[in-house]
Amino acid sequence: MGRYNTTTAMVDANGKRRAETTILNIPITSNDIFIKTTSYERLDKLAETFYGDVSDWYIIAAANGLGKGSIWVPQDTILLIPQPTNITEHIKTINGTR
């Protein structure tokens, strides 16, 4: 999926290019998975396991309010692992309202 595939490139008032920010308030669906970490885990490794792409770590981070300054998840943390199709559709819906 890639973090910027659904992000629009913009030019700000000063003429600088930037990517439009997408804030993910990810809804929980019946297809999503919940896991409990049994040791310290890395968000990128979890993304590789569940999505097949380490660059999708931000999906797990956004769904769980993690990732500010660290990609490490403490032991005994319960994590929501959203299904990738739900995220793609959610991002398209958010970006379509801007």
Could you state, in order of their start, the residue ranges of all structural domains in the chain? 9-96
DSSP-derived 3-state class of residue 36: strand
pLDDT digits (tens, 9 = 90+) for 25-63: 666 777 889 999 999 999 999 999 999 989 888 888 888
Tell me the mean pLDDT in the region 82-88: 72
Predicted structure pTM score: 0.64
CA-wise closest residue to 24 among 53, 57, 49: 57
What is the reported pLDDT for 34? 94
pLDDT surpassing 70 at residue 96 = no
As a whole number of angstroms, the distance between CA 17 and CA 55 comes to 22
pLDDT digits (tens, 9 = 90+) for 58-82: 888 888 888 677 889 999 999 999 8
As a whole number of angstroms, the distance between CA 69 and CA 27 comes to 24
